[in-house]
A and B are shown apart, each in its own frame.
Chain A
């Protein structure tokens, strides 16, 4: 085991050098693309904000049920089936049929090629499940139907969140899906997430509705509050225009009133609708409603046919900018709430890096001195392995562009402490072997081979712990498991190749020495 082919030594050397080169690229600037990679710093080291948003799907479900209800009404009317007593509650649609139609309705709802209740072959599920009792039907979303609905609303929400975050222009935001109702937003370098939180916290549902005195409006009416005031107004439920019809919005200065306003441009459909409504509604007050609150309700003085307009409402320049941003990026399908937030300021991040590096250096020096004290020349060899181990570890983290976190740095330091274990096991075994075997080369050989299973066993157990941490842990803890896990692999490599080469080289040169170890 102490003799190696030149090729093998060469291969190990090249491999180590390449990885070390990649490690060095973190500190030196290289020109080539392959090695100009850097370890990414986690939010806890570079500073930044981590937000976990949860989408409230109840309104989405209610909306879906309501639209399904209309669809059902129309569908069964076309089929000339008579249904009555339609109603919708939180989770189901209820209707009643007469005796002779019951079976036909059941067949339609149960049909695999049903148009009104689509069947998903691969999931063996309809969109809706139903029960019938005494001619009363109750339809609820099936599990798969619910998942489908949640996924589509999450996809929409992610898109809107991305647009809003991009508009603010933070560097390299990271926006990810989590499960089927959560969105993870990572914003490196942002130390005050206040503005982005307030932007993400708004649904930004914009509608234009007429204010009415007449409570017998055919569409029904609702009582809404003015933004920031207790004053209320009765508005018609009829929606003239919604945010969907906006193509652009920006904050501008109104030259007449010297106020900051948000001016908007409508698309073609919106222009037509708006023109028609304002032509008919001259003299009425048009309420501009955002998320259920009236921003302002100007009187319509003349028909607006040009497809553009202004929203005024005591804006500061900042709030006008934010509103314009929200309108440009569109409405969320449902409200989002922030269920977890972690923000680290940049100076704390830097302090953590400094402390991490300081403790790494101190830990490293202590271990190195201890090994030299314990094993003399073999301690030096173990240290050589330790140094190349560190280079390999950092190099591999760099190549994979892994994220380094503060616990990750702790993982590196811990690797330093535990990495010498393998060499210690080998050296101790060799010491025992030397007692019975006078030929050093044979003694070293059997020292290596007899300690191998122990070393593997010992390292696999730690590797198991690292694996579980990787799959169960989140954020910074994941960083720890990555460095711990890769650290074990680089440790085995540095012990079995680098340290063993050095040991072999030394032993063969000095095999006739009196006391070798």
Chain B
């Protein structure tokens, strides 16, 4: 089989990755994330109207007349389905939703409330906190696991690859103002698992090869290992992407954001296993002695 010189592009691609990470961080810092009601609090209503009975502008108008503050109305999949979001939540007015429904029906005709989500400020703050803790916790757990299984140089490489994937995925969500909700947190955690999985497969091979070849430099060795595991990397990414693509295209609107985040994560996860994790090993001058020393201890 032909050997692909992945290692020729370590430098260039690392620079690109670095730029992307910095750009993502800047976006996250200055533009921020578009939090959904889960994390920001407020009300989300998914409505379905009779076919052709109304335009998005008339829906927007009738909501604007209700004094709900900043209202956003977006088409959601079908022509007849819309997502309406606003910051006000019902607090203690138990007829809040019913009143909105009555007013809306009188102005644009028959509407069906398919989904209502109403999250108070206290709950949304807690959800955000537990989301951040969950991501932090999973990164820590991965770090610990890989630290136990491999030498510290490998752990560092794997963790940097993880940060790379998570930061860039979130950066893309920020860039396109895609909504961050609870399912995105689930997606990010799964990405963490997947990216780690991918890195571990290559690292296992690097370590095996380190034992086998004493005289090959790590720069060369990573390339051999990447090539040896390449077809597995491609096939697994392909099947996972096929499954995700199928969720994205056919799984309904609710899962769109989730599957998109996963697709991005799988792509970056695969890339980073090759181009972030491995160059770190080269940078840290990993050699046969690294693993032998560890084994002696």
Contact = CB atoms under 8 A, between A and B. Distances in A.
B254 interface: yes
A337 B251 contact: no
A359 B247 contact: yes
Nearest to B208: A450
Interface in A459-483: 459-466, 468-469, 472-474, 476-477, 480-481
B141 A414 contact: no
Contact of B254 (A192, A342, A406, A466): A406
B196 A461 contact: yes
B169 to A, nearest CB: 14
Nearest to A346: B114
A351 B247 contact: no
Interface string B192-216: 1110111011001100000000000
A401 interface: no
A406 B250 CA distance: 13
Contact of A406 (B149, B185, B255): B255
B102 to A, nearest CB: 11
B58 interface: no
B204 A413 contact: no
Contacts of A414: 190, 240, 243-244, 247, 262
B235 A374 contact: yes
Nearest to A459: B197
Contact of B242 (A192, A197, A370, A432): A370
B34 interface: no
B180 interface: no
Contacts of B243: 363, 366-367, 413-414, 416-418
A367 B239 contact: yes
Given A342-B117, A458-B201, A337 B141 contact: no
Interface stretch (B4-12, B132-140, B287-295): B132-140
Contact of A473 (B182, B204, B239): B182
B200 A457 contact: yes
Contacts of A477: 182-183, 185-186
Contacts of A297: none
B201 A358 contact: no
Given A414-B244, A472-B133, A370 B238 contact: yes
Contacts of A417: 239-244
Sorting the interface of chain B by its residue count into under 10, 10 to 19, 20 to 34 or 35 or more gives 35 or more
A227 interface: no
A454 B229 CA distance: 11
Contacts of B98: 192, 194
A52 B127 CA distance: 13
B189 A410 contact: no
B274 interface: no
B55 to A, nearest CB: 22
Given A345-B115, A417-B241, A359 B134 contact: no
Contact of B247 (A344, A410, A474): A410
Interface in A394-428: 406-407, 409-410, 413-414, 416-418, 420-421, 424-425, 428
Given A352-B252, A417-B244, A420-B239, A465 B114 contact: no
B110 interface: no
A341 B130 CA distance: 18
Given A348-B114, A407-B183, A481-B186, A198 B95 contact: yes
Contacts of B254: 44, 352, 406
A428 B204 CA distance: 14
Contacts of B240: 414, 417-418, 421
A194 B236 contact: no
B130 A466 contact: no
Contacts of B179: none
A425 B149 CA distance: 19
Interface string A339-370: 11111110110011001101110110011001
A5 to B, nearest CB: 30
A421 B244 contact: no
A107 interface: no
Contacts of A465: 138, 142, 189-190, 192-193, 196
Contacts of A425: 201, 232
B201 A468 contact: no
B46 interface: yes
5 contacts: A352-B254, A355-B251, A363-B247, A416-B243, A454-B204
Top 3 closest pairs, chain A to chain B, by CB: A417-B243, A465-B193, A355-B252
Interface of B: 46, 90-92, 94-95, 97-98, 112-120, 122-123, 127, 130-131, 133-134, 137-138, 141-142, 145-146, 149, 182-183, 185-186, 189-190, 192-194, 196-198, 200-201, 204-205, 228-229, 231-232, 235-236, 238-247, 249-252, 254-255, 258-259, 262
